[in-house]
Structure 1
Amino acid sequence: MSYMGEVRRTAFSSFGAAASGLLAGGFVTLVRIAKALHRRTVLNRLGDFDDRMLKDIGLTRADLRDAASGPIWQDPTSVLVVRAVERRAGRRQAVRDSLDAMRPQAEPNAATRETAGCH
């Protein structure tokens, strides 16, 4: 057997794998924290919007306060997205309900009454 085909493990090979895993995990964590901090600056800019502009995108001042109240490393946009989607779904349901209330109830027509009476 040649020495080229052998794989030798040193005493530090598992340490190297663990260290590289920690570095990769640390890098991912740093990237997440940097994104969360950047999104908090965007959240601060949203605070400069007036109430009408916030309403246009489906948010309120209370939504901004709730999103900002989380820990600094937590991404605040998840709170804002959930609130905006819930509010939009509520408006859609209200429109559907009002349209359903405006529709007249269907009365059986004469043909339906005649065939129903024949049985």
Structure 2
Amino acid sequence: MTFGFAPLGVLSLVLRAGRVTGQGIAQAARLLSHRRAARRLAELDDRMLKDLGLTRCEVVGALTLPWRDDPTMHLADRRQARVPGASVRMKIVASDGRRVGPNLAV
């Protein structure tokens, strides 16, 4: 009885598992970063939120979404629903200049 062993097949499975794990980690990091950006929006006063076309209730509501949902996309959708055809670019950066949230075009 002879058993075959395909080392390249095993290697490709290991590489694929690593790639899928890496993508999952990257997605989780992106979601945490976007949640941090939404928390920064919650720190703004109502006047500044109004300038962005958002309300305090929308921001707080976005932060209560399940952890796997992107709160910034929810806020972008709410903004787009309120003012169809409007285009706003938001860029949220940390105090050291590092980009915190996504560049949103709504």
TM-score, with structure 1 as normaliser: 0.61
Give 1:99-118 correspondences, 5 Å limit: none
Is residue 18 of structure 1 aligned with residue 25 of structure 2?
A: no
Q: Rg bigger for which structure? A: 1
Question: Could you tell me how far 1:65 is from its partner in structure 2?
Answer: 2.0
Report if the CA contact (8 A) 1:37-1:73 is conserved: no
Q: Which residue among 35, 43, 47 is the counterpart of 2:38?
A: 43
Whether 1:80 and 2:75 are equivalent positions in the alignment is: yes
Gaps of 5+ in 2: 87-106
CA deviation string 1:10-69 (max 9, x = no partner)? 423222111111110111111111111111111111111111111111111121122112
1:52 aligns with 2:82: no
Structure with more relative contact order (C-alpha pairs < 8 Å, separation 6 or more): 2
Separation in 2, partners of 1:72, 1:31? 15
Alpha-carbon distance in structure 1 between the residues aligned to 2:71 and 2:48: 19
Number of equivalent positions: 83
* Aligned residues: CA RMSD: 2.1
The percent of aligned pairs where both chains have the same amino acid is 31
Report the secondary structure of 1:86's partner residue. Answer: helix
- What TM-score, normalized to structure 2? 0.68
Which runs of structure 1 show a deviation greater than 3 angstroms over 4 or more consecutive aligned residues? none
Tell me, yes or no, if the aligned pair for 1:33 and 1:74 is still in contact at 8 Å: no
From 13, 28, 41, the counterpart of 1:33: 28
